[in-house]
C-alpha cells in the first residue's frame, strides 16, 4: 500500500497553472475565474486583494505577465486577465478589508521607504498585527506611483487597505544607517528605498538580498533590487512573509517559487474562441466578463479526471481518492483508530481497465492501489460480502464438474493447441464455443479444450488465497494436456493468464481465425457500418485488434474506429462492481455507448452483454463469423446462463467425444413457475432458481414459513453465504409458483433464541 501511496508524490493535482506561475503574486486563477464567470465580483475581489495587497493599484498597473504564458496566446488571444481584474475592481461593491479583532503583537519591524514595496510589506505585517514603523524621506507615501497613476486612485486604495491597522509613519526621515534606529528595538528591517536607494549592505549576500546584523534581520527588496513597480509591490508582500518566518524561526528564507507548470493542454478544451471586446467604457459587462472568464481553460493536469471512470464518476481529485482509500484501509487494520470507511464502495467500482496509469503523465496507477485495498478488506473481513458473492459462486459453478472440461481432442495423444473460451462465452450461448471449436478441430485435429474460469472473479474480490488456487488448477490442467498453446476467446482471460501464468503461451482466437484461413458462412452484414469496440483488456493486443478488423473486412464490413481509438475504459463489467454500485456501472456503460452512434462490433462477450442490456445495437465478432445471434436476440438470464454452461458441456461430450455426461446436475430440485415480471426481478437481483429451490426446500421440510391466508402463499427465507434470500410461493401442481423473491444483506440475529430458550437448532 505504501508503494501506491508514494506514487502520488509526483501527482500534479496541486500544480499552479501557467499564468499563475508567471504572475509575481501567483494569483489563484482557478478561483478568481470561477467567481468572475458567476459575476460574483465581491468574492473575486477578495481573492484578488488577498493575492495582491492593493487591488486598485495592481489592476491599474499590471503589465499582464501572464499573457505570454497563456496557451491561448498561440491559438487566438491570451485570456485578458488584466481587463477582468479592472472589471472586478470597478464592479465590486464590498471593497473594505476584514477588520480582525486580534491584539497587537509585541514584535517590532521597521520599513524604510513608503513606496509601493514598503507599503505592501507594511500592509501585510500590520494586518497580522505586528508593530510596524515606516520611515519615509519625503513628505508623502506612494513613491513612484505619483508619476504613474492619478493620486486619488492609489491614495484611496492605500487608505482603504490600512483603515483598520495601527502603525507609525515618520515623514521627512531619511535613515542612512541601521545604527540610527537600533535603539528602537526592531527585530527586522525591510529596506525599500527604491531605485538607487541605500541598501545598508543587504544586497547580494549569500542568501539573497538579506543579512542578519547584530540579531536584526535586514531584507532589501522592491525597485532597489531592480524590480518594476508591480514586481516591487509583490516583493514587499514576499518580504512580509520572509520577515514573519524570521520572527518565528530565526532563519532567512524566501517564499518558494511555484514549480513550472507541466500540465498538458487539453485540445478538447482549447477550442478557438476570439477574445471578448469590452463595451462598457473599456470594461466588460457581466456577460462579457463571464464569456472572457469562460475562455480560460483552467490549465491543470486533469488527465485522470477525464479518462478514469472512478475519478470522473465520483468527481473526486486524486489526492482525495488516495486519502479516502488510506482511511478505509486503516480502518480495516485498526478499527478503533478511525471510524470511517469512505472508500469501501469506491474501491469496488474500479473496472481494472488500466487506463489510469497510461493517461497519467506521472504514470500513477490508482487501479493497482484499489485492487490492493480490496485485498486488505478481504483479509480483514470488512468487505461487504454481497459485493462479490454472486460472481465468486458463478466462478465456482463454472469450475465445477457440471460445467468445466479439460480434454485432449478425441483420439489424440498430444495437444499442440487448446481452446480456452472463458467462462462467459458458453454461458451467453453454447454455440459461441461449439462452432469455433469445431472449426479449430477441422483445422488442427489435436486442438484440445479447456473450459473453466480464469480466476479473475477471485482476484477482483480481493481473495488472494482462492485466486492462487484457481491459478494452480489452470497450471495443472495445462500441464496435463501437455502444455499446449492456449487459444483464448476472451482478452481479459488472456491478459490475466499472461500476468499470472507467463509460462503459458497464448494466442487469441481471432488471430487464429485470421491466420488459419477462416471463411465465413454468410455475409449478412455486408456493406453495413459498424464501429469496432476494442475491449479494454485488448488495449495492448494490437495484433488481436488487427485480426478482428481483418475478419470484419472479410465479411464486407468497413469497420469504423472510435474517436479516441482504444483509449477508453471498460464497458463496466470489469472488476465486477455492478453489485457494489449499479449506478456506476450503468454510467460507465453509457459513457462507452455514447462514443459512437454506430452499432458496435466487439470481441469480448461481456462488452456485448453489457451494451446489449443497455439497448445498444451490438454484435460479437463470432456472431458475424458463425451466424450465431442477431442484434435483437434476447440475453439469457442468470439461471439460463448456468443451464447454458451445462448444456455446453453435455453437447461437447456427446458431439465431439461421443460420451454421455456422467453426472448431470439438476439445477433445480423443483419445478418452478413464474411470470415475466418475477423473471425480470430475479435476474436483476441475481437470484438463481437454485437459490429459490434451496429456500423452498427448507421451508417445506421445516415448516418454518409464514402463511398468508388472504393470498394462500407461504414466505420463507434462507441465508446463503452473506445474503438472505426470501421467497413467496404457493404449491402449483407438482412444483411451486413463485410470486416474489427478494434479498437483504443484513443478518437476522438470535432468531432461534426466543423467550430465553433455544427453539430451533437448524437455523443457519
Partner 1 sequence: MEEKQTLICDKCKVEMAEYEVQFSYLNRSFRHKVPRCPQCGQVYIPEELAGGRMSEVEKLLEDK
Number of residues that bind partner 1 (CB under 8 A): 40
CA distance 12 to 319: 10
Q: Are 284 and 87 in contact (CB under 8 A)?
A: yes
Q: Which three cell numbers stand for residue 591?
A: 459513457
Should residue 701 be labelled a site residue for partner 1 when binding is judged by CB under 8 A?
Answer: no
Should residue 583 be labelled a site residue for partner 1 when binding is judged by CB under 8 A?
Answer: no
Q: Are 272 and 76 in contact (CB under 8 A)?
A: yes
Residue from 4, 432, 510, 714 touching partner 1 (CB under 8 A): that is 714
> CB-wise, 48 or 387, nearer to partner 1?
387
Q: 357-360: long-range contacts at Cβ-Cβ below 8 A with a sequence spacing of 24 or more?
A: 358/539, 358/567, 359/303, 359/304, 359/306, 359/307, 359/308, 359/567, 360/303, 360/304
Report the nearest approach of partner 1 to the CB of residue 589 (Å). Answer: 21
Residue from 529, 633, 654, 706 touching partner 1 (CB under 8 A): that is 706
Report the nearest approach of partner 1 to the CB of residue 761 (Å). Answer: 12
CA distances from residue 724 to 135, 386, 718 in whole angstroms, order as listed: 81, 10, 6
> CB-wise, 306 or 747, nearer to partner 1?
747
Residue from 249, 710, 734, 762 touching partner 1 (CB under 8 A): that is 710
Report the nearest approach of partner 1 to the CB of residue 314 (Å). Answer: 12
CA distance 198 to 651: 98
Site residues (CB under 8 A) for partner 1, limited to 141-170 = none
Report the nearest approach of partner 1 to the CB of residue 342 (Å). Answer: 7
> CB-wise, 671 or 747, nearer to partner 1?
747
Report the nearest approach of partner 1 to the CB of residue 386 (Å). Answer: 8
> CB-wise, 161 or 715, nearer to partner 1?
715
Report the nearest approach of partner 1 to the CB of residue 555 (Å). Answer: 46
CB environment 213-231: b (16+ within 10 A), e (fewer): eeebbbbbbbbbbebebbb
> CB-wise, 242 or 341, nearer to partner 1?
341
> CB-wise, 182 or 681, nearer to partner 1?
681
- Dihedral of alpha carbons 195, 196, 201, 205, sign: positive
Report the nearest approach of partner 1 to the CB of residue 743 (Å). Answer: 7
> CB-wise, 377 or 488, nearer to partner 1?
377
Should residue 717 be labelled a site residue for partner 1 when binding is judged by CB under 8 A?
Answer: yes
Q: What is the DSSP string of 290-303?
A: HHHHHH-------H
Site residues (CB under 8 A) for partner 1, limited to 725-764 = 726, 728, 740, 742-755, 759-760
Nearest to 742, CA basis, from 729, 728, 731, 721: 728
> CB-wise, 590 or 703, nearer to partner 1?
703
What is the torsion angle, in degrees rounded to the nearest 10, for the CA atoms of residue 342, residue 346, residue 352 and residue 357?
-60
Look at residue 589 and give its three-state secondary structure.
helix
Q: Which three cell numbers stand for residue 158?
A: 492605500
Nearest to 192, CA basis, from 160, 235, 230: 235
Report the nearest approach of partner 1 to the CB of residue 107 (Å). Answer: 47
Report the nearest approach of partner 1 to the CB of residue 327 (Å). Answer: 12
What is the torsion angle, in degrees rounded to the nearest 10, for the CA atoms of residue 47, residue 53, residue 58 and residue 63?
-80
Binding mask 382-401 for partner 1 (x = CB under 8 A): x-x-----------------
Q: Are 263 and 299 in contact (CB under 8 A)?
A: yes
Report the nearest approach of partner 1 to the CB of residue 276 (Å). Answer: 44
Report the nearest approach of partner 1 to the CB of residue 364 (Å). Answer: 25
Please choose, out of 18-26, 36-44, 247-255, 707-715, the segment that lies near partner 1 by the rule CB under 8 A.
Answer: 707-715
Report the nearest approach of partner 1 to the CB of residue 726 (Å). Answer: 6
Report the nearest approach of partner 1 to the CB of residue 192 (Å). Answer: 55
Nearest to 194, CA basis, from 164, 154, 222: 222
Please choose, out of 477-485, 506-514, 538-546, 697-705, the segment that lies near partner 1 by the rule CB under 8 A.
Answer: 697-705
The single residue listed with the C-alpha cell 490549465 is 299
Report the nearest approach of partner 1 to the CB of residue 232 (Å). Answer: 53
> CB-wise, 40 or 382, nearer to partner 1?
382
> CB-wise, 381 or 734, nearer to partner 1?
381
> CB-wise, 314 or 494, nearer to partner 1?
314
Site residues (CB under 8 A) for partner 1, limited to 337-356 = 340-342, 344-345
* 690: Cα separation from own chain's centroid: 38
Residue from 703, 712, 721, 764 touching partner 1 (CB under 8 A): that is 703
Site residues (CB under 8 A) for partner 1, limited to 366-385 = 382, 384
Report the nearest approach of partner 1 to the CB of residue 702 (Å). Answer: 8
- 201 dihedral zone (left: phi>0; alpha: psi -120 to 50; beta): left
Should residue 707 be labelled a site residue for partner 1 when binding is judged by CB under 8 A?
Answer: yes
Nearest to 367, CA basis, from 577, 607, 535, 545: 577
Report the nearest approach of partner 1 to the CB of residue 344 (Å). Answer: 6
Measure the N-to-C terminal CA separation of the chain; round to a whole number of Å: 37
CA distance 608 to 612: 6
Report the nearest approach of partner 1 to the CB of residue 318 (Å). Answer: 20
Nearest to 454, CA basis, from 385, 412, 506, 512: 506
The contacts of residue 498 (CB under 8 Å, 6+ apart) are: 506
Provide the H-helix boundaries in 128-228. 145-148, 151-162
- 417 dihedral zone (left: phi>0; alpha: psi -120 to 50; beta): beta
CA distance 199 to 193: 7
> CB-wise, 52 or 687, nearer to partner 1?
687
Please choose, out of 203-211, 416-424, 481-489, 696-704, the segment that lies near partner 1 by the rule CB under 8 A.
Answer: 696-704
- Dihedral of alpha carbons 228, 233, 234, 236, sign: positive
> CB-wise, 468 or 697, nearer to partner 1?
697
Please choose, out of 75-83, 457-465, 505-513, 701-709, the segment that lies near partner 1 by the rule CB under 8 A.
Answer: 701-709
Residues present in the chain in total: 764
> CB-wise, 627 or 697, nearer to partner 1?
697
Please choose, out of 36-44, 186-194, 247-255, 335-343, the segment that lies near partner 1 by the rule CB under 8 A.
Answer: 335-343
The contacts of residue 569 (CB under 8 Å, 6+ apart) are: 307, 308, 309, 351, 353, 355, 536, 588, 591, 592
Look at residue 74 and give its three-state secondary structure.
helix
Should residue 666 be labelled a site residue for partner 1 when binding is judged by CB under 8 A?
Answer: no
Nearest to 120, CA basis, from 81, 75, 154: 154
Residue from 335, 553, 565, 680 touching partner 1 (CB under 8 A): that is 335
> CB-wise, 115 or 575, nearer to partner 1?
575
> CB-wise, 365 or 719, nearer to partner 1?
719
> CB-wise, 465 or 760, nearer to partner 1?
760
Report the nearest approach of partner 1 to the CB of residue 580 (Å). Answer: 8
Residue from 411, 615, 709, 733 touching partner 1 (CB under 8 A): that is 709
**List of residues contacting partner 1 (CB under 8 A):** 335, 340-342, 344-345, 382, 384, 702-711, 714-715, 717, 726, 728, 740, 742-755, 759-760
Amino acid at each position: 500500500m505504501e508503494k501506491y501511496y508514494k506514487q502520488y508524490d509526483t501527482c500534479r493535482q496541486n500544480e499552479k497553472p501557467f499564468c499563475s506561475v508567471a504572475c509575481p503574486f501567483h494569483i489563484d486563477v482557478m478561483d478568481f475565474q470561477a467567481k468572475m464567470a458567476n459575476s460574483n465580483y465581491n468574492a473575486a475581489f477578495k481573492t484578488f486583494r488577498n493575492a495582491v495587497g492593493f487591488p486598485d493599484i495592481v489592476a491599474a498597473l499590471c503589465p499582464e505577465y501572464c499573457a505570454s504564458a497563456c496557451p491561448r496566446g498561440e491559438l487566438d488571444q491570451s485570456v485578458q486577465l488584466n481587463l477582468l481584474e479592472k472589471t472586478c475592481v470597478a464592479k465590486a461593491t464590498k471593497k473594505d478589508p476584514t477588520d480582525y479583532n486580534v491584539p497587537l503583537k509585541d514584535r517590532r519591524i521597521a520599513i524604510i521607504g513608503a513606496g509601493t514595496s514598503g507599503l505592501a510589506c507594511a500592509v501585510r505585517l500590520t494586518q497580522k498585527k505586528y508593530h510596524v514603523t515606516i520611515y519615509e524621506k519625503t513628505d508623502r507615501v506612494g513613491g513612484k506611483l505619483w508619476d504613474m497613476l492619478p493620486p486619488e486612485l492609489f491614495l484611496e486604495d492605500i487608505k482603504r487597505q490600512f483603515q483598520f491597522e495601527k502603525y507609525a509613519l515618520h515623514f521627512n526621515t531619511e535613515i542612512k544607517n541601521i545604527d540610527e534606529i537600533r535603539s528602537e528595538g526592531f527585530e527586522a528591517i525591510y529596506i525599500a528605498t527604491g531605485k538607487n536607494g541605500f541598501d545598508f549592505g543587504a544586497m547580494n549576500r549569500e542568501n539573497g538580498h538579506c543579512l542578519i546584523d547584530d540579531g536584526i534581520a535586514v531584507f532589501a527588496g522592491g525597485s532597489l533590487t531592480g524590480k518594476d513597480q508591480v514586481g516591487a509591490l509583490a516583493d514587499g508582500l514576499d518580504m512580509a512573509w520572509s520577515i514573519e518566518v524570521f520572527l518565528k524561526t530565526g532563519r532567512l528564507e524566501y517564499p518558494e517559487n511555484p514549480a513550472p507548470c507541466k500540465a498538458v493542454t487539453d485540445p478538447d478544451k482549447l477550442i478557438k474562441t476570439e477574445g471578448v471586446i469590452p463595451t462598457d467604457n473599456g470594461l466588460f459587462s457581466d456577460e462579457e466578463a463571464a464569456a472572457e472568464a469562460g475562455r480560460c481553460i483552467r490549465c491543470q493536469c486533469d488527465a485522470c479526471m477525464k479518462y478514469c471512470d472512478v475519478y470522473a464518476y465520483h468527481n473526486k481529485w486524486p489526492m482525495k481518492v488516495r486519502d479516502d482509500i488510506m482511511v478505509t484501509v486503516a480502518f480495516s487494520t485498526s478499527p478503533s483508530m478511525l471510524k470511517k470507511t469512505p472508500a469501501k464502495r469506491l474501491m469496488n467500482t474500479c473496472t481494472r481497465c488500466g487506463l489510469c496509469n497510461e493517461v497519467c503523465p506521472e504514470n500513477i496507477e490508482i487501479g493497482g492501489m484499489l485492487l490492493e485495498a480490496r485485498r486488505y478488506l478481504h483479509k480483514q473481513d470488512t468487505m461487504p460480502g454481497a459485493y462479490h458473492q454472486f460472481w465468486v459462486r458463478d466462478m465456482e459453478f463454472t469450475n465445477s464438474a457440471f460445467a468445466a472440461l479439460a480434454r485432449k481432442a478425441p483420439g489424440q495423444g498430444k495437444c499442440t493447441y487448446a481452446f480456452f473460451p472463458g467462462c462467459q462465452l458458453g454461458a451467453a450461448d453454447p454455440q459461441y464455443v461449439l462452432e469455433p471449436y469445431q472449426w479449430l478441430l477441422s483445422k488442427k485435429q489435436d486442438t484440445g479444450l479447456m473450459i473453466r474460469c480464469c480466476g479473475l472473479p477471485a482476484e477482483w474480490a480481493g481473495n488472494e488465497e482462492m485466486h492462487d488456487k484457481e491459478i494452480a488448477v489452470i497450471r495443472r490442467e495445462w500441464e496435463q494436456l501437455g502444455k499446449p498453446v492456449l487459444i483464448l476467446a476472451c482478452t481479459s482471460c488472456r491478459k490475466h493468464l499472461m500476468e499470472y501464468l507467463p509460462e503459458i503461451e497464448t494466442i487469441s482466437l481471432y488471430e487464429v481465425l485470421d491466420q488459419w484461413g477462416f471463411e465465413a458462412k454468410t455475409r449478412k452484414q455486408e456493406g453495413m457500418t459498424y464501429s469496432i469496440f476494442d475491449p479494454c483488456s485488448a488495449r495492448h493486443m494490437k495484433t488481436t485488434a488487427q485480426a478482428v478488423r481483418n475478419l470484419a473486412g472479410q465479411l464486407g464490413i468497413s469497420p469504423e474506429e472510435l474517436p479516441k481509438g482504444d483509449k477508453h475504459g471498460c464497458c463496466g463489467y470489469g472488476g465486477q462492481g455492478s453489485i457494489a454500485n449499479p449506478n456506476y456501472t450503468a454510467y460507465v456503460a453509457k459513457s462507452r455507448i455514447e462514443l459512437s452512434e454506430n452499432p458496435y462490433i466487439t470481441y469480448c462477450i461481456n462488452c456485448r452483454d453489457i451494451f446489449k442490456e443497455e439497448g445498444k445495437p451490438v454484435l460479437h465478432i463470432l456472431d458475424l463469423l458463425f451466424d450465431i445471434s442477431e442484434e435483437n436476440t434476447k440475453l439469457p438470464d442468470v439461471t439460463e446462463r448456468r443451464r447454458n454452461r451445462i448444456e455446453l458441456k453435455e453437447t461437447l461430450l456427446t458431439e465431439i467425444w461421443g460420451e454421455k455426461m456422467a453426472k448431470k446436475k439438476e439445477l433445480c430440485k423443483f419445478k418452478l413457475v413464474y411470470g415475466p415480471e418475477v423473471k425480470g426481478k430475479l435476474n436483476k437481483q441475481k437470484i438463481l432458481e437454485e437459490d429459490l429451490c434451496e429456500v423452498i426446500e427448507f421451508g417445506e421440510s421445516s415448516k418454518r414459513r409464514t402463511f398468508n391466508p388472504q393470498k394462500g402463499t407461504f414466505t420463507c427465507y434462507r441465508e446463503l453465504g452473506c445474503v438472505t434470500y426470501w421467497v413467496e410461493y404457493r404449491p402449483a401442481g407438482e412444483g411451486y409458483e413463485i410470486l416474489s423473491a427478494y434479498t437483504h444483506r443484513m443478518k437476522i440475529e438470535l432468531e432461534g433464541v426466543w423467550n430465553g430458550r433455544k427453539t430451533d437448532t437448524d437455523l443457519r
